[in-house]
Amino acid sequence: MDALVNFQTLLLAQLKSGDYVGFTFFIGSMAMAAATVFFFFQIGQVQGKWKDSMLVSGLITFIAAVHYFYMRDFWAENQASPTEFRYIDWILTVPLMCVEFYLILRAFGAKQSLLWRMIFYSVWMLVAGYLGETVFRDNSPLWGFISTIGYVGILYEVWMGSAKRLSSNSNDATLQSAFGALGWFVLVGWAIYPIGYMAMESGWLSGVIPLKSMDIIYNIGDAVNKIGFGLVIYSLAISKSDQGGAKKAVGAGASSAVNA
């Protein structure tokens, strides 16, 4: 009991009154951790290939939860944006989010070339963004433009490229609805990241948006994007698993009737 009290005191001692950025770091870490538990427990509730999709959803929020605990501590100690921790998180979780598109489409003909293309675009986007935000900060607009090429590549695949065509040709209303929701996460939800990039010093929006406000936006955006992304996958997985179970039940009933 004393250990639990000391642990809670340690966590709360790092958050000062009025530190809204630190507060969102704490909420983000706990929200990601809770989502991880939920997604991992749901693996047993879905069928076949959907177990992989739920596993990846859980891995995304698990990686983010671990990094958010570190980012919260970094912020509390330094009152500075944990840029390196963010990019370590993103370089792991964003490609995994791209993997989700491949996993839900592979039954409809998605090839591994789509998977590697989207991973390449995501790594391109993040590496260029990191270089512009740290190593080549004076030339951040140029590196921001280079980073955006990767983002546009992902958008193209999701909204007009082979991923979109596979979804449209599937004639599966449930899949198409989920795919459309994931597409909006990429288009709208991910848009906060380039906005934050442009808001840093020497960026095109420098001085327009306070940098501390961007940390709050990043934290909320990360939670909404990663947890929301996983919930869409969960909804699709449960729906398809239920459909598969219903078909098996109908088939078993028909077989029993014939044997009778």
Residue 209 lies in a domain: yes
Grade residue 122 by pLDDT with cuts at 50, 70 and 90. very high
Quote the pLDDT of residue 225.
92
pLDDT at 96 over 80: yes
pLDDT at 36 over 80: yes
Grade residue 31 by pLDDT with cuts at 50, 70 and 90. very high
- Model-level pTM? 0.85
pLDDT at 13 over 50: no
Alpha-carbon dihedral of residues 230, 99, 24, 211, nearest 10 degrees? -140
- Per-residue burial over 123-159, b if 16 or more Cβ lie within 10 Å, else e, is ebbbbbbbbbbeeeeeebeebbebbbebbebbbebbe
Here the CATH number for the domain that contains residue 178 is: 1.20.1070.10
Grade residue 11 by pLDDT with cuts at 50, 70 and 90. low
Residue 121 lies in a domain: yes
* Chain centroid to CA 244: 27
Residue 245 lies in a domain: no
Domain total of the chain: 1
Mean pLDDT score, 174-199 = 85
Residue 4 lies in a domain: no
For residues 198 and 205, the answer to whether their CB atoms sit within 8 Å is: yes
Quote the pLDDT of residue 95.
95
Structural domain harbouring 126: 20-238
Quote the pLDDT of residue 61.
97
Mean pLDDT score, 239-254 = 58
Quote the pLDDT of residue 259.
55
Residue 175 lies in a domain: yes
Q: What is the mean pLDDT of the chain?
A: 84
Quote the pLDDT of residue 238.
92
Residue 64 lies in a domain: yes
Give one word for 82, left, alpha or beta, with left for phi > 0 and alpha for psi -120 to 50.
beta
Residue 40 lies in a domain: yes
Grade residue 1 by pLDDT with cuts at 50, 70 and 90. low
Residue 227 lies in a domain: yes
Q: Which of 18-27, 94-103, 153-162, 223-232 has the lowest mean pLDDT?
A: 18-27
Three state DSSP letters for 127-185: HHHHHHHCCCHHHHHHHHHHHHHHHHHHHHHHHCCHHHHHHHHCCCHHHHHHHHHHHHH
Question: Residues 124-167: pLDDT tens digits?
Answer: 999 999 998 888 888 888 888 899 999 999 999 999 999 999 99
Q: Is 201 helix (H, G, I), strand (E, B) or coil?
A: coil
